[in-house]
Amino acid sequence: MALTDAQRAYSLIRERVITTKMKPGAVIEEAALMAELGLGRTPIREALKLLESERLVVVSPRRGMFVADVTLTDLREIEEIRLELDTLCVRLAVERITPVQLVELHRLVTELRQIDGDYSQEELLNLDRRFHALLREACHNRLLEDECRMLFNLSLRIWHLFINRLEAEDLGEEAFVEILAAVEAKDPMRADKVMRAHILKFGESIKRYL
């Protein structure tokens, strides 16, 4: 099914915000987005309204619209919620993952193991993004998937903000090798423990730079 103009606007603007091409705190100008994306004012406004509900955009009365800023408080609050929801997600994924999804998880782990010193932080972040997206799908709970996606996007924006300072070990990608092992062992609590450590490592790494 083809995307509507509003869906296209949402996807394109969200990606710019998440990857910090639109910097935290930056003024959002509808006319500039219309020209850049080749879309009308109505779909742009619909997209921005949805992004506001996802805490990626902030509307300030009489001042205008801005890309949401990033603070240490944001990091703490995101971490607190992800420690509960992402761990629930991975426990359900262990129990509900389909054979096709398990094959994809194996493929991503193989791709991770093949990464050597010749990599970019963008490539690692993209791999991390694909891992989390697969685990969200594998939980087979649409409401939980939506919430985890929103929180992950907030986290991903923080990663991108510091992408040039991060080391490979900061990303903690080895967690997904362990999650695959937990899935194959049908051990949801093992997966929970690994995901919890993965999220905490994210917070510890970022706090060095905030």
What one-character DSSP code corresponds to residue 28?
P
Contact residues for 100 (Cβ-Cβ < 8 A; gap 6+): none
Secondary structure (3-state) at 118: coil
pLDDT tens over the chain, length 210 residues: 677 999 999 999 999 999 999 999 999 999 999 999 999 999 999 999 999 999 999 988 888 899 999 888 888 999 999 999 999 999 999 999 999 999 999 999 998 888 765 667 778 888 899 999 999 999 999 999 999 999 999 999 988 888 777 776 766 678 999 999 999 999 999 999 999 999 998 888 888 776
Classify residue 139 as exposed, middle or buried by CB count within 10 Å of its CB (0-12, 13-18, 19+): buried
Write out the H or E segment, with its range, that includes residue 66. strand 64-67
- In whole angstroms, give the CA distance from residue 146 to residue 9: 19
- The residues spanned by each domain of the chain are 5-67, 72-207
CATH of domain 5-67: 1.10.10.10
Specify the pLDDT at position 170. 67
Specify the pLDDT at position 61. 82
Phi-psi domain of 19 (left: phi exceeds 0; alpha: psi -120 through 50; beta: other): alpha
Specify the pLDDT at position 9. 95
pTM of the model: 0.90
- Give the angle subtended at the CA of 48 by the CAs of 146 and 6, to the nearest 5°: 80
Per the listing, tokens 């694909």 go with 130
CATH 1.20.120.530 fits domain 72-207:
yes
5-18 and 30-37 helices, crossing angle to 10°: 110
How many whole angstroms from its chain centre is CA 21? 15
Specify the pLDDT at position 208. 79
Contact criterion met (CB below 8 Å) for 46 and 10: yes
Specify the pLDDT at position 118. 61
